[in-house]
Structure 1
Amino acid sequence: MKAVQVTGYGDVSKLSLVEIPIPEPKENEVLIKVKACAINNTEIWMREGAYGTDSKSGWRPEGVEFPRTPGSDITGKVVKAGKLVEESIVGKDVVLFPFISSGEEGSEHIAEDMSFIGSEYDGGYAEYVVWPAELCFDMPLSSYSESAVFSVSGLTAWHMVKQIQAQPGETVIVTGANGGVGSLNVQIASKVFGAKVIAIIGDLEAEEKIKELGATHVVSYKSDTFVEDILELNGGPVDSVLDVVGNALFSTALQVLKNGGKFCISGSAGGQHTNLDFRTLYLKHITMYGSVLGTKEEFKDMLKEISEGRIKPVIDKIFPLEKAKEAQVYFKNKGKVGKILLLPEE
């Protein structure tokens, strides 16, 4: 089969298109013919070594074992079952829950042994992938491409909104609102939990698209009166911030949060290190959350909302598998709205 492998830490030159054997499912696994795989920051950062040192970087302390096939947002058709898996699963269209752990229900995502598909296990930048049958769920939509945009970004966004306990009538700021997680944060906070959303983006060309997702207001971080714009639109400080940017917007987020406000972060595309005056936290009684992925129960809840049409897929561009390098470069460009997809059969 064709696959794209990461051969080591570095730039996109570390991605190689190769021919490798089709994997065999273990007794509790299934073999899936990959139909679509969306791109996430996580496989970019895995390749770049951003999760640790240059010699050891990954979701686990020992780092990534190369070569590794990346890709964690995967949909496809089950074509073979391991010997302990019921044959009735063969032929099903599935979306993959993106990690394995021994954590108890409700805390799977924070278990020490949490291992991610596309980092600790070979992922979806390939024509076939193997995965435990119990972590394969019915696709929420009939389209492979549309169903592939939610697994990692959607689960992360869902868990973020749950963490801040967004309520109807509250105001939530969403940074990076045009990206994969951000665009889903907008939808989930507004259309599922009923909050008012102020979306933060760079160029206001995407303003109408972001409003269609559920944002009440859209603000550019390039504005000379950025903080004042937010406070004026909301009539005062906001209740919560959902952040995927990190350092670039961190001080602004703390400025516009109300006393007792909540700040939740799941990414740091705008800088992984920041300066923090602790007095800001305790004098404003701010609660901070670090957030990545979520639980299987949250995944099921999200799939239900997708299938019922409250959360919609947002796709920016589609690439064939062979163009994975170009797709990852494009992914890092600013101004896109929604997800970037790789299709093995394109």
Structure 2
Amino acid sequence: MTIPKTMQAVHLIGHGGPEALQFRDDVAVPTPAAGEVLIKVGAAGINNTDVNTRIGWYSKAVAGDTEAAAGALGADDDDASWTGRPLVFPRIQGADCCGEIAAVGDGVDPARVGERVLVASLQPAADAIDDWDFITWGSECDGGFAQYAIARDRHTHAVTSDLSDAELASFPCAYSTAENLISRAGCKAGDIVLITGASGGVGSAAIQLCKRRGATVIAIASASKHDQMQDLGADRLLDRNDDPAQILGEQSVTLVVDLVAGDGFASLISCLKRGGRYATSGAIGGPLVTLDVRDLYLKDLTFVGGTVQAPETMPNLISYIEAGEIKPLVAQTFPLGDIHTAQDVFLQKKFVGKLVLLP
């Protein structure tokens, strides 16, 4: 494989609106260091974390939802990444990647060249001080919004599948997040699971992964998206404007998978049965909520946050893909150079599943 000296890539040059994303065609192709591989990117999925990082939403100075694209959020640049550390700019974002290994660094088996791979979106930091010291590929290091990308060998997983690059690129971030979250929450056969934000990448993944475990799934999404949610396996559907506690009744579900938070949080807690579990890995409706602590301890609830992933998460996900147990849901693809349009469509939230960039 002939590797060029320069490539097309999208640089994030700082926190802000779409203008902070600059498409370039003169970026140097990186060289893999020891223990790394160079990937020719076939497709790269778009995720909430890309937008959150761009607009500085992770900063503790921000209290609103994630639907702002202008970036005028009053973020503190010193804590505007999800790790709470300042980002180094320019940064090539993109937590999702499907591609082919084009070259390897020292210590990596040369036979890996030519492998079709997926990159783990969440990875232990190279200099991790404990088991909770993780990074996001495309945040603390460059990611997949480019024609070529560097990843560590041990976090680059071979995949054998007839699915397209775009379909495979829809899996890593959303599905590993959902898999990790519901695994930590102990989702099992017999559970009644209520999923918010069910039409998004993580939500639609959670429907399939909870059904795979034998749970009954109640999905919350806009009514216009209900047919697609049903096709994914949802057993019951609620509109995003419904009050779950009023419709389902109090103490009606055993597990809440919440990707929205915001004003609907209290109703979700009311829905939980005694001994129930609340699990979250997102807050697109707003990160600040009101909790009656009496609900937490009198109902013996368990709260689960899901970011750092267990080592088996990606290998398990790869096995589900190869066995055909889960299916991708790609709503639309865009050329890499159309990233502004793609993120605008993403923020409108009128689609189901994932949007994917094609370098």
Short-chain TM bin: over 0.9
Deviation at 1:296, TM superposition (A): 2.6
The 3 A distance-change label for structure 1 pair 193 and 3 is same
Deviation at 1:103, TM superposition (A): 9.2
Alignment of 1:198 with 2:218, yes or no, is: yes
Deviates more, 1:141-150 or 1:26-35: 141-150
Counterpart position of 1:41: 48
Contact 1:103 1:109 in 2 (8 A): no
- The number of equivalent residue pairs is 335
Deviation at 1:334, TM superposition (A): 2.4
Contact 2:8 2:27 in 1 (8 A): yes
Alignment of 1:55 with 2:77, yes or no, is: yes
> What does 1:1-346 align with in structure 2 at a 5 Å threshold?
1-18=7-24, 19-52=26-59, 53-56=75-78, 57-101=80-124, 111-142=131-162, 143-190=164-211, 192-201=212-221, 203-223=222-242, 226-231=244-249, 237-344=252-359
Deviation at 1:153, TM superposition (A): 0.8
Contact 1:263 1:287 in 2 (8 A): yes
Which one-letter code corresponds to 2:156 in the other structure? C
Deviation at 1:293, TM superposition (A): 4.9
TM-score, normalised to structure 2, is: 0.89
The 3 A distance-change label for structure 1 pair 270 and 124 is same
Partner SS, residue 73 of structure 1: coil
The 3 A distance-change label for structure 1 pair 46 and 102 is closer
Deviation at 1:109, TM superposition (A): 12
Contact 2:125 2:134 in 1 (8 A): yes
Contact 1:140 1:304 in 2 (8 A): no
Which one-letter code corresponds to 1:79 in the other structure? A
Partner SS, residue 120 of structure 1: coil
TM-score, normalised to structure 1, is: 0.92
Which one-letter code corresponds to 2:39 in the other structure? I
Partner SS, residue 271 of structure 1: coil
How far apart in 2 are the matches of 1:170 and 1:140? 32
How far apart in 1 are the matches of 2:174 and 2:270? 27
How far apart in 2 are the matches of 1:194 and 1:80? 42
Contact 2:116 2:160 in 1 (8 A): no
Deviation at 1:113, TM superposition (A): 3.3
Structure 1 runs (4+) deviating above 6 angstroms are: none
Q: For each residue in 1:51-103, what CA deviation from the matched residue of structure 2 results, as whole angstroms up to 9, or x when unmatched? A: 22421221333311111010011010111111221110001111011243259
**Structure 2: 5+ residue runs without aligned partners?**
1-6, 60-74
Partner SS, residue 263 of structure 1: strand
Aligned-residue Cα RMSD (Å) equals 1.9
Contact 1:69 1:122 in 2 (8 A): yes
Q: For each residue in 1:121-154, what CA deviation from the matched residue of structure 2 results, as whole angstroms up to 9, or x when unmatched? A: 1111100001111211112523211111111111
Contact 1:263 1:289 in 2 (8 A): yes
The 3 A distance-change label for structure 1 pair 165 and 99 is closer
